[in-house]
Structure 1
Amino acid sequence: MPVTSPRPYDAGFTNDIREVVKHVCDKSGPLVRIMAVGFSMGANVLTKYVGEEGTECLLSAAVAVCCPFDIKVAGEAINADNFLNNKVFLPQVVKSMKSCLKHAKTVKTAKAHPEWVNEIDDIMAATKPYQIEKQLITKINRCSSLDEYYSMASSTNYVDKIRIPYLAINSLDDRITPPEGIPVQKFKENRYLSLALVRHGGHLAFLTGTLSPKFWFIKPIQEFTSAMAKL
């Protein structure tokens, strides 16, 4: 499919989820409780959205798993020069980011994406995520630098404004969304927030069991959402 949107990816863009939540709530009616669960970058978008909405949020509760909170901290971790990143993680991330743009090189329609279409060749030659963000996402958001985009996209700036029950599950050994980016003090000061910070789990790898490992975070999410549904 030709790329027709100027915003194929954005860690802080909340208009899509805002529209979806409103649509679902309008279709479901006032008696139905709507909750949402976000993972990784999706968790950041969800957290930022819930904070932006504040007391007007249509969701009854939200859960964020491995939320980066501070996009600059996460970005530095993702782009760090080490064996795991260089050989395992970065090639897959960059490949995934480029996959949604692969048709744009042959479909250079300025009307569809004037912000970055003329730089598509440089974007496709990138080897690290920050290079794509610098050439693509900063321009889309009219930001003068990556730091400005990272600050704008970071959900940590909105956590203190959340006014619905919110659970975050993160791990201390997460190399993708390091614990340094978690606004722990804001969790202590906002009574709507709960933080489950465990020693091990990596990034979205909260496994338990030996012969047949299973994701254990499913159970606390079920318990939390079930409890919120009964309020």
Structure 2
Amino acid sequence: MCFWVLSAWVLPLALLGLLAKLLLWGNSYITKLLPQRWQEEGGRGEEEDDKDVFIPVWKDFHGGCQLICKSSALANCLLRVFQRFLDLEKGSWFWRRWPHVQTLLQYMLPANGELEFARDHLQLLDGGIVALDWVVGPWKTVKSKGGAGTFNSVPVLLVIPNLLGWLSRNVQQLCLLALEQGFYPVIFSRRGQNGCPLTTLKLQQFGDPADLKEAVTYIKFRHPSSLLFAVSEGTGSGSLLSYLGECGSSSYLTAAGCLSPVFRCQECFEVGLPWLYEWSFLLYQKMSLSRYTTALEDAVEMKKVFESRSLRELVETLFCLTRKNSTSWNVYWEKNDPLRDVDEVAIPVLCICSADDPLRGPPQTTLPTELFKTNPYFFLLLTQHGGHCGFLNNGPISWSHEVTLEYFRAVTEFLRTEEKINRFPQRRSSVMLHRRRRGTLQKHEPSPSYDMQEMFSWKRSYTR
């Protein structure tokens, strides 16, 4: 498998680079960053007539975690939940303070258990194909139920990997824990990634949610009585946040979570990643595209793709400098910025980030803290240590998985309680009345009675 071949020779270089970074960054500012405030607040804010004012909620947990959000009933509920689950000072794992170690372990180490999938190939409206890998094992009690078609009422967890399509240890461990705790995980694989065939001369752009939108509609059609949650890893947050912004109140999701999301995407590509990650991800992307060289040659100059010396050059060649519809770099990001429609998001979104994330960059310039301070739908759980999608504390097991799943349960119980108290539909509970809905949010999706057979054609096969 190309991933393990790549890992075999990247690991020694990674360790050398890590050693150099540790020697240079031994007492860096990052370890002292979290106790500081990005902005000193002079008071609790000026009260207004509608009482919909910003009151900063900076609650410190044991071990240096903070929750940044707008004051609301749901925020208070989540504070109580996180205080029960987060006590990172108990962790004794020595390397948890090294962000590069936490980051690299997620790409180098295998998961504790091998996942078993039931794959659905979903044919989209334009003829493209994406894959949905329903996690049905390794537990024998789960396998005996007969596969993907029998989980009709359990909550479904849609997992969106990073932009490269890597099924990292982080993603696999999350699926294992979710399956164990009663969720039904399904992994979304983009066109041409993770064994999914490429049938069109089109790759998914960074913030294009069209394919994800059809996949979510199909999942809801397959499981109409199940609650649907979604969680993204790293750069996979671009698709998820774009989907939530485009769909607004018509989203089928109950709640969403983002692990180490990248918000300032354009700047991230322009500045570039640390050389080890930039070079490794660029090489992996070229290896993935090499199998489609002949097919994509009609749309893209593949020679320039393979000669790219940075991720920006590769993305710009693939999506901006095409043979038919060329566009500028800035116009591309105007259409693909994951926060372009963030004001339309209408479900709770939890973002778990670390202050020492080596891929995202310094939190002062890469985290949109004003979004979390002013928007009642967004919650930022910021931790002092964790790297990129690492969040290791007491061994190579990520604590963010358990927190994310508990967050989904807390939101579900909160909305059910609010519905009973206020006698409103779930999507109009009192916590969501902080903002007046605009007419543009009232979008209509095809109902389950719609003839989905004409919209979708799929094929299931058991893999791995």
TM-score range with shorter-chain normalisation?
A: 0.7 to 0.9
**Structure 2 counterpart of 1:26, from 204, 221, 226:** 221
Name the amino acid aligned to 1:100: S
Corresponding residue SS for 2:339: helix
Q: Deviations over 1:96-131 (max 9, x none)?
A: 2112220233x2x4xx66331xx1011111121111
Distance in 2 between the 1:68 and 1:96 partners? Answer: 19
Q: What aligned pairs does 1:171-182 form with structure 2 within 5 A after superposition?
A: 171-178=354-361, 179=363, 180-182=365-367
1:168 equivalent in alignment to 2:168:
no
Distance in 2 between the 1:202 and 1:55 partners? Answer: 33
What residue ranges of structure 2 are gaps of 5+ in the alignment? Answer: 1-191, 416-464
State the match for 1:101 in structure 2.
289
Name the amino acid aligned to 1:6: L
Q: Deviations over 1:49-95 (max 9, x none)?
A: 11111111111110011111221122134x25xxxx32x21221011
Distance in 1 between the 2:325 and 2:266 partners? Answer: 18
What residue ranges of structure 1 are gaps of 5+ in the alignment? Answer: none
Name the amino acid aligned to 1:34: L
Normalising by structure 1, we get a TM-score of 0.84
Q: How far did residue 36 of structure 1 move? A: 0.4
Q: Does structure 2 conserve the Cα–Cα contact (< 8 Å) formed by 1:72 and 1:151?
A: no
**Structure 1 counterpart of 2:315, from 129, 133, 140:** 133
Name the amino acid aligned to 1:217: S
Normalising by structure 2, we get a TM-score of 0.44
Q: How far did residue 143 of structure 1 move? A: 5.9
Corresponding residue SS for 1:75: helix
Distance in 1 between the 2:340 and 2:367 partners? Answer: 11
Corresponding residue SS for 1:174: coil
Distance in 1 between the 2:398 and 2:222 partners? Answer: 32
1:50 equivalent in alignment to 2:234:
no
Distance in 1 between the 2:378 and 2:326 partners? Answer: 30
Q: Does structure 1 conserve the Cα–Cα contact (< 8 Å) formed by 2:357 and 2:386?
A: yes
**Kindly tell me: are residues 101 and 4 of structure 1, through their superposed partners in 2, closer, same or farther at Cα, counting changes over 3 Å?**
farther
Name the amino acid aligned to 1:115: A
Q: What aligned pairs does 1:140-155 form with structure 2 within 5 A after superposition?
A: 142=325, 144-155=327-338
Q: Deviations over 1:1-53 (max 9, x none)?
A: 88543333421121111111100111111x32100000111112101111111
**Structure 2 counterpart of 1:196, from 349, 359, 381:** 381
**Kindly tell me: are residues 50 and 35 of structure 1, through their superposed partners in 2, closer, same or farther at Cα, counting changes over 3 Å?**
same
Q: Does structure 2 conserve the Cα–Cα contact (< 8 Å) formed by 1:3 and 1:103?
A: no
State the match for 2:392 in structure 1.
207
Q: Does structure 2 conserve the Cα–Cα contact (< 8 Å) formed by 1:166 and 1:194?
A: yes
Higher relative contact order (CA 8 A, sep 6+): 1
**Kindly tell me: are residues 39 and 56 of structure 1, through their superposed partners in 2, closer, same or farther at Cα, counting changes over 3 Å?**
same
Corresponding residue SS for 1:195: strand
Corresponding residue SS for 1:18: helix
Segment of structure 1 superposing worse, 141-150 or 8-17: 141-150
Q: How far did residue 139 of structure 1 move? A: 4.0
Identity, in percent, stands at 25
Q: Does structure 1 conserve the Cα–Cα contact (< 8 Å) formed by 2:352 and 2:382?
A: yes
State the match for 2:278 in structure 1.
90
Corresponding residue SS for 1:58: coil
Q: Does structure 2 conserve the Cα–Cα contact (< 8 Å) formed by 1:36 and 1:63?
A: yes
1:224 equivalent in alignment to 2:412:
no
Distance in 2 between the 1:12 and 1:217 partners? Answer: 24
Distance in 1 between the 2:374 and 2:297 partners? Answer: 42
Segment of structure 1 superposing worse, 140-149 or 195-204: 140-149
**Structure 2 counterpart of 1:41, from 218, 224, 235:** 235
Distance in 1 between the 2:227 and 2:379 partners? Answer: 20
Number of positions where the alignment pairs a residue of Structure 1 with one of Structure 2:
216
Higher helix share: 1
Distance in 2 between the 1:200 and 1:143 partners? Answer: 41
**Kindly tell me: are residues 188 and 11 of structure 1, through their superposed partners in 2, closer, same or farther at Cα, counting changes over 3 Å?**
same
State the match for 1:115 in structure 2.
299
Distance in 2 between the 1:115 and 1:34 partners? Answer: 36
Distance in 2 between the 1:33 and 1:128 partners? Answer: 41
Distance in 2 between the 1:67 and 1:34 partners? Answer: 20
Distance in 2 between the 1:185 and 1:196 partners? Answer: 14
